[in-house]
Amino acid sequence: MKVAISVEKKKKVLQTYFKNGLDKGIEIIPRKEMKKIIILQHILKRFNKGRKYPEKEVNNILKTVHVDYVSLRRYLIEYGFMERTDDCSIYWVKE
């Protein structure tokens, strides 16, 4: 999913949610779609394009972002940022 969001808006949202630094976690997952997309785009930087990740590794990476890593994983798939095998065992960043 591609959405045009200004650099200023992205910066403001990231500063609001990643209060302890961009490499740390967030306290809440935003409800508003645009803010959620900004957060997901940032989280995606924690994954390497072209690499396949077992579900457990995806979970461990997402746990560093928020306690509800299952929702984050689902949003990454639903919003088209990542893909997975039919059995949900392997994940990768969508090209």
DSSP assignment of 18-73: -TT-TTS--SS--SSHHHHHHHHHHHGGGS-TT--EEHHHHHHHHHTT-S-HHHHH
3-state secondary structure of 90: strand
- 76: how many CB neighbours lie within 10 A of its CB? 23
Each of the 95 residues of the chain gets a pLDDT tens digit; together they read 455 788 999 999 999 999 999 999 999 999 999 999 999 999 999 999 999 999 999 999 999 999 999 999 999 999 999 999 999 999 999 98
What pTM did the predictor assign? 0.91
Q: Are strands 53-54 and 82-84 parallel, antiparallel or unpaired?
A: unpaired
Domains contained in the chain, CATH given: 7-93 (1.10.10)
Contact 58, 91 (CB under 8 A): yes
